[in-house]
Structure 1
Amino acid sequence: MKAKKCFIAHCVLATFALFINTLGLCILRLSCMGSEPFTGLCYSVQERFGVSVALCMGTVNVILLLADFIAYRESLGFGTLAGLFITGSFSDFWLWITRTVLKLDFSFSGMEHFAFRLVLLAAGVGIAVVSCSFYLAAQVGMAPYDSVGYLVQKLTHGKIPFKRTRVVQDCVCVLGTFLVAAPQGTQWQIIGIGTIVMALGLGPVLTVLQEKIALPFYRNVDAIVNGENEG
């Protein structure tokens, strides 16, 4: 019973972390100083072909899911389903809130409103990275895209750590974003300082945040849940 309640708590917190994560990515997008690499790729597909962010994310994750099912089944779980079917919907929700409800479809260019955009950039990156660390540290499964680094780490017996693979796959997404968005002329609204920062630093920073903050947080949650059961 204790394990079940801990699992439910982790699932709820992982879902909330995904919700906050997509908010951070949306704020980052509004700054016009770059998007998180994978989300940016999906934004470019949406603008070029009219495909929703949810459908783009879902399609890529389903393809990667096959590799996880064959070689890394321990990464599968509630978090996998959430990453497949919820993250894209959360992203579409925040885009709808900002563009339709709040009318905040910014299209900055060059050095326009640079200080304000830096604030949006810092807020977006901070929220996205911290919330992602809590999502992964919940250990209830992860989205196939997030599992790629751990899969490579497992297959290479730790010789290629998660943080290095994450940098490579994010850089591939940046290249894909450029190729897809260039014909629309929106590549530099999607790709920017934030994209480069996250592509090169997301993997290493996530590793530190999980070890120092997120995992201890979940251990405290488990202790609280177990204490309530005992009481």
Structure 2
Amino acid sequence: MKNKLLEQNVHLFIIGIAILTLGITLCIQSRLGTSPFDALLVGLYRTVGLTVGTWEVAVGFVMIIMNAILIRKRPEYLALVTSFVTGIGIDTWLWFFRDWLVPSSFLEQFICLLLGIICTGLGVATYLQSKLAPIPLDRSMLVVSELTGWSFVYSRGMISIVLVTLAFFLNGPIGLGTIMNALFTGLMIKAFFPFLEKLHSPKHSKRQVA
């Protein structure tokens, strides 16, 4: 039973990360601006070099240390695995879409951005159900929410302000997409999370087996 539950969690984790990184890539390709965190990653890529996925791992490591300090516990180094997998996913999707997903009109850009935000929210809500190590950014969201009593929306919003400020000084892609990501990604997570939690609950699983 435990092995089957672990297998289900791993599947949720992989599916969630795949959807999340697709959403991140769609936002980048829209050229209307990315989420505050991804704007920082792209800004580092533009300013320093390496790849967006590589910076996912590097910045993730810094956030792991910060999260540990805030909750006064040992660093959650396993989250580096999540950052690593996410980094690979981002770079893979960017390579796959690099030539043929280049929106030419504002409408196409907006649709690409909107799909990206939906996929991002769905991806986060999905992989969090696995109860495996979350991406450091999402762990920060949970940490801030736990320490302050704020909802996911407000917690992610406060973190976003800090990230946008850093991205601005690094020439990150800040624009309409950044504002929409900051405003609506938390709402998407909040909307999808209860539904997926109920779907993944033991009672639901038993009904499916029966």
Q: TM-score, normalised by structure 2?
A: 0.86
Q: Which amino acid aligns with 1:199?
A: A
CA contact (8 A) 1:153 1:161 kept: yes
> Superposition pairs for residues 39-78 of structure 1, below 5 Å?
39-69=38-68, 71=71, 76=76
Q: Displacement of 1:202 after TM fit?
A: 2.0
> In structure 2, how many angstroms separate the alpha carbons of the residues matched to 1:13 and 1:96?
24
CA contact (8 A) 2:145 2:152 kept: yes
Residues 119 and 204 of structure 1: CA distance in aligned 2, closer, same or farther (over 3 Å): closer
Give the % identical residues. Answer: 23
Q: Displacement of 1:146 after TM fit?
A: 0.7
> In structure 2, how many angstroms separate the alpha carbons of the residues matched to 1:178 and 1:192?
10
Q: Structure 1 residue 169 and structure 2 residue 153: aligned?
A: no
Show the counterpart of 1:227: 209
Q: Displacement of 1:67 after TM fit?
A: 3.8
> In structure 1, how many angstroms separate the alpha carbons of the residues matched to 2:76 and 2:199?
22
SS in 1 for 2:201: helix
> In structure 1, how many angstroms separate the alpha carbons of the residues matched to 2:140 and 2:182?
15
Residues 14 and 119 of structure 1: CA distance in aligned 2, closer, same or farther (over 3 Å): same
> In structure 1, how many angstroms separate the alpha carbons of the residues matched to 2:143 and 2:189?
16
Residues 225 and 21 of structure 1: CA distance in aligned 2, closer, same or farther (over 3 Å): farther
Number of equivalenced pairs: 209
SS in 1 for 2:82: helix
Q: Displacement of 1:68 after TM fit?
A: 3.9
> In structure 1, how many angstroms separate the alpha carbons of the residues matched to 2:97 and 2:85?
18
Q: Which of 171, 183, 187 is the matching residue for 1:200?
A: 183
> Superposition pairs for residues 79-90 of structure 1, below 5 Å?
80-90=79-89
Q: Structure 1 residue 209 and structure 2 residue 183: aligned?
A: no
> In structure 2, how many angstroms separate the alpha carbons of the residues matched to 1:219 and 1:64?
30
Residues 227 and 81 of structure 1: CA distance in aligned 2, closer, same or farther (over 3 Å): farther
Q: Which amino acid aligns with 2:191?
A: V
Show the counterpart of 1:33: 32
Q: Which amino acid aligns with 1:207?
A: K
Q: Displacement of 1:33 after TM fit?
A: 1.1
Q: Displacement of 1:77 after TM fit?
A: 8.4
* Structure 2 unaligned blocks of 5 or more: none
Residues 217 and 76 of structure 1: CA distance in aligned 2, closer, same or farther (over 3 Å): farther
Q: Displacement of 1:169 after TM fit?
A: 0.9
Q: Displacement of 1:64 after TM fit?
A: 1.9
> In structure 1, how many angstroms separate the alpha carbons of the residues matched to 2:109 and 2:203?
36
Q: Which amino acid aligns with 2:147?
A: L
What is the RMSD computed on CA atoms of the aligned residues? 2.8
Cα distance per residue 1:89-115 (max 9 Å; x no partner) = 11111111122xxx1474x7xxx6112
> In structure 1, how many angstroms separate the alpha carbons of the residues matched to 2:205 and 2:38?
35
Residues 74 and 104 of structure 1: CA distance in aligned 2, closer, same or farther (over 3 Å): farther
Show the counterpart of 2:92: 93
